[in-house]
Amino acid sequence: MKKCVSNSILALVLALAAWMGTSCKSQYELMLASSDVPAKMKMAMTLMESKKFNKAAQMFESMKLLVNGTPQDDSVQYYTAYCNYRYGDATTAQQNYQAFIGTFPRSVFYTQARFEYVDCLYMDTYRWELDQTPTYKALSAINVYINDFPDSEWVEPCLEMAADLEERLDKKDYEAAKLYYTMEDFRAAHYALKNVLKADADNMYREEILYYTCMSAYRYAQNSVSDKQRERYVVFTDDYYDFVGEFPESKHRNHLDMLAGRVQKILSVEAAETNRYQIDVGDVSNVTAQIKAEKDYEEFLKNKNAKKEARKEAKKDRRRERMERKLLKHRAQ
């Protein structure tokens, strides 16, 4: 008798537990398991409008099989991707968008989905110090989007993303070359920095690259044996003139001017020693030529400074112009 009572109590407890488990399920959980498409769609849209994107994405995901092949198919697939995108799950959203883009090329959501897919790729890129493979992938997708939809409202955001990604690539190249300077391998630094601009003259760190090119040349000459110093200081002088010609108002100008003054004195002393006999006998043609060259250079700098305002205006557009050239280069590839 006791055994029968115990079994009855156990069955009652199990039944009660099952009932409580069912009754404790939230309305959301019950709807998630439901096959009522209109009700699920209404709840999913409400969740999305309330910015509960994670739950909305799950609700839309649960409808995919139910609406397959129906007029609602593209909407459900797009909103699944969109909610994951807005939730910040860029990796899942990428996969959702890829499936949508490949399946519904004529959907009203197509153009926007293409942009949001590009944005997902952008969000999945890394800092400049890390692997830039995702950066190249995102840039490629950006270029394709701009080519396909040149009049889209999202072209401007695409250009901004591309500018940021290009800056990362430029910084990576610049920092890799500058590392030789940090390691005090000045000959290698000079060569590497020159090569950065040879590969990409529009590098966004061009001013810094040219500055460290000058510094590498100066330090290399300074550390050289006396027999080699003159020719290596001449290299620095050439790099210095290139720098001040392009960036006359640079923050580095005073420092480089000071170094150029030192180098000029060194070269002048060496020239005086070499030509001492001619100067002693009254041949002042070399001195006259040097004075004329200095005056010509001063005039050159005055002309450069006279164009200061024009340079400032042009500098505002330089970043965008560089980006457009880079985009054209990517398109050609």
Q: Quick one: tokens of 181?
A: 């300077």
60, 83 in Cβ contact below 8 A? yes
Q: Quick one: tokens of 272?
A: 């005086």
Does pLDDT of 290 surpass 60? no
Does pLDDT of 272 surpass 90? no
Does pLDDT of 322 surpass 70? no
What span, in angstroms and rounded, lies between the C-alpha atoms of 89 and 78?
15
**Is residue 22 very low, low, confident or very high in pLDDT (cuts 50, 70, 90)?**
very low
Does pLDDT of 293 surpass 70? no
Dihedral angle over CA of 169, 172, 175, 179, nearest 10: -140
Phi (first) and psi of residue 250, to 5 degrees: -65, 150
- Among 8-17, 67-76, 235-244, 254-263, which is the least confidently predicted range? 8-17
**Is residue 2 very low, low, confident or very high in pLDDT (cuts 50, 70, 90)?**
very low
CA 230 to chain centre: 41
- The DSSP-derived string for 44-96 is HHHHHHTT-HHHHHHHHHTTHHHHTTSTTHHHHHHHHHHHHHHHT-HHHHHHH
What span, in angstroms and rounded, lies between the C-alpha atoms of 319 and 206?
12
pLDDT in tens, 133-188: 999 999 999 999 999 999 999 999 999 999 999 999 999 999 999 999 999 999 99
The chain-wide mean pLDDT, for the chain, equals 84
pLDDT at 255: 95
**pLDDT (mean) for 314-322:** 57
Where do the domains of the chain lie, and which CATH numbers do they carry? 27-119 (1.25.40.10)
Instruction: Report long-range pairs for 83-92 (Cβ below 8 Å, ≥24 apart).
Output: 83/48, 83/53, 83/54, 83/56, 83/57, 84/53, 84/57, 85/116, 85/119, 85/120, 86/51, 86/53, 87/53, 87/54, 87/57, 88/123, 89/57, 90/120, 90/123, 90/124, 91/120, 91/124
pLDDT at 331: 56
Does pLDDT of 247 surpass 90? yes
pLDDT at 90: 94
Helix%, strand%, coil% for the chain, nearest 5: 80, 0, 20
Of the chain, the percentage scoring pLDDT greater than 90 comes to 70
